[in-house]
Amino acid sequence: MLSKTLQDGLNDYGIGAKIRALRLKKKIGLVDLGKHTGLSPALLSKIERGRLFPTLPTLLRIALVFGVGLEFFFAGAREKPLIAVTRKSQRVELPERQGAREAAYRFESLDYPATERRFNCYYTEFLPVARDKLRPHDHAGVEFIYVIAGILSVHMNGEEHALEAGDAIYFDSTIPHAYRRSGGRRCSAVVVTAP
């Protein structure tokens, strides 16, 4: 239990209100935010209403979804130009879906240290998955995929687009889409999403 002094000090940062503002700006519901963070909608609601203060790891999970750094919740405007380096050994791996048994891909954030990002960039490895096990998803904005290795099949609008190494695709990500590795070789790509 936090003392009144600590509660008042944490309330001054308005962390819950900032999370809510980010969520509404991105037009994401509590249930969807819960799916992306692995946190329950009830817990997220308590945090937003200031009834519960998140731990730093919990706050970082939320921050990664919105493309902001922890400092967004604790400081004012950035004072220095933004430069963010992500080392290969420090990439943050994000699950396709929290608790999913059969994943179609694994992705790692390439730009998580950059605060207030205007797009999100991931290194993605696609796993073998049966065509009937594909789980189409959609999200606001646009998506760009550049295939590094292997053959990637992108499914949307009843069509399958086979992309080989060096190929790219740009599309409206509000269209339900799914990915699967074609052939037996390793398949990887850089995926960029923007609101």
H or E segment to which residue 169 belongs: strand 168-172
What's the rounded Cα separation, in Å, for the pair 76 and 102?
A: 41
Q: Are 15 and 59 in contact (CB under 8 A)?
A: yes
pTM: 0.62
pLDDT at position 103: 74
What's the rounded Cα separation, in Å, for the pair 112 and 92?
A: 8
Q: Is the dihedral of CA 150, 172, 195, 119 positive or negative?
A: positive
| Contacts of residue 31, Cβ cutoff 8 Å, sequence gap at least 6 | 41
Q: What is the pLDDT of residues 17-34, one digit of tens each?
A: 899 989 988 888 999 999
Q: What is the pLDDT of residues 35-88, one digit of tens each?
A: 989 999 999 999 999 889 999 999 999 998 988 888 888 875 445 567 778 888
DSSP 165: T
Q: Which amino acid would we find at residue 158?
A: G
Q: What is the pLDDT of residues 122-157, one digit of tens each?
A: 999 988 777 777 888 898 899 999 999 999 999 999
What domains can be seen in the chain, in order of their start residue? Answer: 4-74 (1.10.260.40), 88-194 (2.60.120.10)
What's the rounded Cα separation, in Å, for the pair 112 and 97?
A: 18
